[in-house]
Amino acid sequence: MKFNIKPLAYLFVSSALFMGCGGTADILSTPVENIDTSPLKVTELTEAEKKNWGHLDLERDTIPGMAVDRAYDEIIKGKKGKKVIVAVIDSGIDIDHEDLDDVIWTNKDEVPNNGKDDDKNGYIDDIHGWNFLGDAYDEQLEYVRMIAAKDTSNPRYDEAVALQASEYELWTGRKTQYDQIHQRVVSADETLAKATGKEDYTKEDVNAIDSEDEAVQQAKGMAQYMYSNGLESMADAKKEIKEALESINERLNYNLNINFSGRTTNDDINDLSDVGYGNGNVKHVKKSESHGTHVAGIIAAERNNGLGANGVANNVEIMALRVVPNGDEYDKDVALSIRYAVDNGAKVINGSFGKSFSPHSKWVRDAIKYAADNDVVFIHAAGNDSNDIDVEPNFPDDNVNFVEVADNYIRVGSLTQNYGSKMVSGFSNYGKQNVDVFAPGSSVYSTTPENEYDFKGGTSMAAPGVAGIAALIRSQYPKLTAAQVKQVILDSGLPLTTKVIVGGDANNVKPFADLSKSGKIVNAYNALIMASKIK
């Protein structure tokens, strides 16, 4: 399932309220011995910083970004390097977006819309990539599919049954809670409209209300609470709650529904040799299918064109592979999409998805090894369950019992804008053995369908930042192997020993160095310097 966290914390409220070269002498890498003494940023981020914080620099800006702007200012300096194809295995991508349309990969060996497999790669009219889902959108979670298939031979079958029952009960309870919240917000909005005499009342109007009417006072308190959680209006609150309810209903009706089947491609999901299903339409099927477009923009939104966002990499083409539905992806689709990316020229692959059950995990692991054997870097999001994934399973992975099968795989945890104890995103998974590095992932601004932009959070947003850095390195230093690119990214990061809150739990405090294999946050500036020195 695609990893994405929507900032709806205000809904979980107390019951009391609701219920280049780089090797020249004048370019020096960041002095890492001083990093842990960097001052905390105490001022509020500006609007420009909020939209670009992931590209800022810890040493210069006291914000734990990836030093992308510094890399362009001091090292790249307009040098475009070699074109690099980055495959984005995700939901559909708006390839016509104003900030992406000039960076989309085109298969020049395929004649558009002629119904023929011109390049003989097994995919007909794959002009910009491939859609392994066909027209499907909603899908079950993997462990629900296991129950639906009555796969009792699977050693985790009983675990799946228990998990589905508990999750269905949990989300049914949340639906009841959110329905009640929605009713109260709608009622409060109507009360405030009457009290102010305005349908589009402002914060100032609400604060100015002077009434002893208990209903008005309760409505005023509710609005002020919403404002304190970053919402600009009660209309925004209603919109957020409505979207949350839609997500909950999708969870109950599709993801957790044993009787639902979303597959439409008529292939055998247990036969890896049954290929060619799907179609060449890599776009999103509805506007809310925005995840892939957001991820693509983080990597490659056209830089300095006066539009909404700048991608990390400046000389890339995005190969769009629609694999991730509104539910869990199929292992078969993931394995084949990785192989498609490798066979069609991608040098970097981003995978912002994952799940805790994977019946054909070996297929995916073999595909990652295939990518490694063909010199392709694979970047994967660590997941948003606040788990130690050295203990809790998370797929896809690159190892069997901690023994790696490939040297090209980088798993990425998520950072917030807040350097210091709150630096690790509360949702982010972690693991001394199974997470490699951390990167900006909370509240990242990027492209969304139909020429729009938005903030999204999740390790889904951290992974493409690293994919962008990998593409920068491969562009500027194309002779480096995938294994070398991985090692550069891990070795060049900023090592931190400060203690941080893990899983959003103030009682769970660990040294940042213990949360990943490298104990570092990625740094594009240092990475390019290090890459320049490798023979």
CB atoms under 10 Å from CB of 326, counted, come to: 22
In eight-state DSSP terms, residue 499 is E
pLDDT of 36 reads: 64
Closest CA to 442 of 458, 419, 430, 429: 458
Q: Are residues 205 and 324 in the same domain?
A: no
275 is in which domain, residue-wise?
58-138+268-532
Q: Is residue 83 part of a domain?
A: yes
- Phi and psi, residue 113, nearest 5°: 60, 35
CB atoms under 10 Å from CB of 310, counted, come to: 25
Please state, in angstroms and rounded to a whole number, the distance separating the CA atoms of residues 194 and 273. Answer: 65
Residue linked to tokens 């392994």: 132
Q: Are residues 462 and 370 in the same domain?
A: yes
Please state, in angstroms and rounded to a whole number, the distance separating the CA atoms of residues 491 and 186. Answer: 52
Please state, in angstroms and rounded to a whole number, the distance separating the CA atoms of residues 197 and 205. Answer: 10
Domain total in the chain: 2
Q: DSSP letters of 302-343?
A: PTTSSSS---S-SSEEEEEEE---BSPPPHHHHHHHHHHHHH
pLDDT of 527 reads: 98
Residues linked to residue 454 through DSSP beta bridges, in sequence order: 446
pLDDT of 24 reads: 36
Residue 226 corresponds to which amino acid?
A: M
Please state, in angstroms and rounded to a whole number, the distance separating the CA atoms of residues 314 and 302. Answer: 7
Q: Are residues 250 and 309 in the same domain?
A: no
Q: Are residues 336 and 455 in the same domain?
A: yes
Q: Is residue 17 part of a domain?
A: no
3-state SS, residue 500: strand
Q: Is residue 170 part of a domain?
A: yes
Of 200, 234, 255, the one marking the end of a domain is: 255
Asked if the bond preceding 396 is cis, omega within 30° of 0, the reply is yes
pLDDT of 43 reads: 77
Of 188, 220, 255, the one marking the end of a domain is: 255
How many contiguous H segments (helices) and E segments (strands) does the chain have? 14, 15
Please state, in angstroms and rounded to a whole number, the distance separating the CA atoms of residues 511 and 101. Answer: 42
pLDDT of 4 reads: 57
Give 513's contacts (C-beta < 8 A, 6+ positions apart): 495, 496, 497, 519
In eight-state DSSP terms, residue 74 is I
Cβ–Cβ under 8 Å, residues 488 and 93: no
Q: Is residue 7 part of a domain?
A: no
pLDDT of 82 reads: 97
CB atoms under 10 Å from CB of 37, counted, come to: 7
Q: Are residues 69 and 117 in the same domain?
A: yes
Q: Are residues 367 and 433 in the same domain?
A: yes
Of 208, 234, 255, the one marking the end of a domain is: 255
Asked if the bond preceding 464 is cis, omega within 30° of 0, the reply is no
Token digits of residue 119: 């390049």
Sequential pLDDT tens for the chain (535 residues): 876 544 443 333 333 333 333 333 346 666 565 566 666 666 789 999 999 999 999 988 889 999 999 999 999 998 889 999 999 999 999 999 999 999 999 999 999 999 999 999 999 999 999 999 999 999 999 999 999 999 999 999 999 999 999 999 999 999 999 999 999 999 999 999 999 999 999 999 999 999 999 999 999 999 999 998 888 899 999 999 999 999 999 999 999 999 999 999 999 999 999 999 999 999 999 999 999 999 999 999 999 999 999 999 999 999 999 999 999 999 999 999 999 999 999 999 999 999 999 999 999 999 999 999 999 999 999 999 999 999 999 999 999 888 899 999 999 999 999 999 999 999 999 999 999 999 999 999 999 999 999 999 999 999 999 999 999 999 999 999 999 999 999 999 999 988 999 999 999 999 999 999 999 999 999 999 999 999 7
Q: Long-range contacts: 175-178, Cβ < 8 Å, 24+?
A: 175/245, 175/248, 175/249, 175/252, 177/19, 178/11, 178/241, 178/244, 178/245, 178/248
Q: Are residues 309 and 249 in the same domain?
A: no
Token digits of residue 324: 């991730």
pLDDT of 456 reads: 96
Token digits of residue 189: 């909005």
Strands 348-351 and 377-381: parallel
Terminal CA-to-CA distance of the chain, rounded, Å? 40
Q: Is residue 41 part of a domain?
A: no
Residue 229 corresponds to which amino acid?
A: N
Angle at 283 between CA 282 and CA 284, to 5 degrees: 125
pLDDT of 335 reads: 98
Q: Are residues 74 and 132 in the same domain?
A: yes
Q: Are residues 356 and 216 in the same domain?
A: no
Q: Are residues 97 and 195 in the same domain?
A: no
Cβ–Cβ under 8 Å, residues 260 and 253: yes
Token digits of residue 402: 């901690």
Cβ–Cβ under 8 Å, residues 190 and 199: no
3-state SS, residue 53: helix
Q: Is residue 4 part of a domain?
A: no
Closest CA to 378 of 483, 525, 301, 457: 483
3-state SS, residue 37: helix
Instruction: Record the pTM.
Output: 0.91
Angle at 88 between CA 516 and CA 148, to 5 degrees: 85
Helices (H), 97-233: 142-148, 157-196, 203-207, 214-228
Please give the helix or strand (H or E) that residue 464 lies within, else none. Answer: helix 459-476
Q: Are residues 245 and 317 in the same domain?
A: no
Q: Are residues 339 and 484 in the same domain?
A: yes
Q: Is the dihedral of CA 348, 350, 356, 361 positive or negative?
A: negative
Q: Which CATH number belongs to the domain containing residue 134 in this structure?
A: 3.40.50.200
pLDDT of 78 reads: 81
Please state, in angstroms and rounded to a whole number, the distance separating the CA atoms of residues 252 and 250. Answer: 5
Q: Is residue 18 part of a domain?
A: no
pLDDT of 27 reads: 60
